[in-house]
Amino acid sequence: DTGVSQDPRHKITKRGQNVTFRCDPISEHNRLYWYRQTLGQGPEFLTYFQNEAQLEKSRLLSDRFSAERPKGSFSTLEIQRTEQGDSAMYLCASSLVKTGGYTFGSGTRLTVV
Amino acid sequence: GENVEQHPSTLSVQEGDSAVIKCTYSDSASNYFPWYKQELGKRPQLIIDIRSNVGEKKDQRIAVTLNKTAKHFSLHITETQPEDSAVYFCAASKDNNDMRFGAGTRLTVKP
């Protein structure tokens, strides 16, 4: 287990298409987080899971966005009907409950054309 | 919800000088304050963190201070080196829950 893995690294899609990203956290980490980062900004919180339960969703997460972590291991983030404003780096992170900082993945860079 | 503000947005120092980055937070319930370093095109990486039960923590050339009353915390880097050049983010959370990040400080260390 070498850390948090995200797939794909890059995704170019046409406006209106659906996209899905995957995150594999560090295996013993029971918390998984999704963030979005645009150029020159800090990561913006989207949602997080503890095991398979989605505990919080940001208001940034419109109804076009959905995240799942069905077995408490990997997670997927789907964006439906993509818009140009969705272009960003989507970062996944994982941690243990209440201890330590987050370990981030390398991110998925989404470009909507 | 928590709101974290960070300043300055850019900081340029000469090699060997010290650098200080400051953050304020809004939620008095926040109790965990990490700092991340992000190099161009790479993931944010945790460099130091502090919990609300301590006022200062040091790790070699990096130190963080926390003032709970004023709700602000700072990152101090001494004897800066060119490889310290990066974007630094502060963050705050309660119990490692939904962490909120500052907007970042771009630090440039000039040789």
Give B22-36 pLDDT, tens digit per residue. 999 999 999 999 999
Residues 6+ apart with CB under 8 A from A24: A4, A5, A6, A7, A73, A74
d(CA A96, CA A17): 34
Q: Do B95 and A101 touch (CB under 8 A)?
A: no
pLDDT of B90 over the 90 cut: yes
Q: How far apart are CA A14 and CA A18, in angstroms?
A: 9
pLDDT reported for residue B98: 81
Average pLDDT over residues B65-89: 97
E strand or H helix at B67, and its extent? strand B62-67
CB count within 10 Å of CB B50 equals 20
- The shortest C-alpha distance from B69 to chain A (Å) reads 23
Cβ–Cβ < 8 Å for B19, B80: yes
The half-sphere exposure of B4 on its side-chain side, counting CA atoms within 13 A, is: 30
Contacting residues of A for B100, CB less than 8 Å apart: 45
Per CB-CB distance under 8 Å, the chain B contacts of A104 are: 36, 43-45
What is the arithmetic mean of pLDDT over B66-89? Answer: 97
Residues B97, A56: C-beta atoms closer than 8 Å = yes
Opening angle at CA A20, ends B1 and A10, nearest 5: 95
> Is the pLDDT at B70 greater than 80, yes or no?
yes
Residue in B36, A32, B76 with CA at minimum distance from that of residue A21: A32
Taking 60 as the threshold, does the pLDDT of residue A1 lie above it?
no
Structure tokens at A34: 């999704």
B54 touches chain A (CB under 8 A): no
Mean pLDDT of A80-89: 96
d(C-alpha B28, C-alpha B45), whole Å? 25
Q: What is the mean pLDDT of residues B48-58?
A: 92
**B49 in contact with chain A, both atoms CB, cutoff 8 A:** yes
List A71's β-bridge partners, or say none.
Answer: none
> Do B96 and A44 make contact, defined as CB atoms within 8 angstroms?
no
Residue-averaged pLDDT of chain B: 95
Find, in chain A, the residue whose alpha carbon is nearest to that of B92: A101
Beta bridge partners of B27: none
- Asked if A32 contacts A75 with a C-beta cutoff of 8 angstroms, the reply is yes
Question: Stretch B35-41: mean pLDDT, rounded?
Answer: 94
Q: Do the beta carbons of residue A14 and residue A79 sit within 8 Å? A: no
Please check the confidence at residue A9 and state whether its pLDDT lies above 90.
yes
Q: What is the mean pLDDT of residues B66-95?
A: 96
pLDDT of residue A13: 98
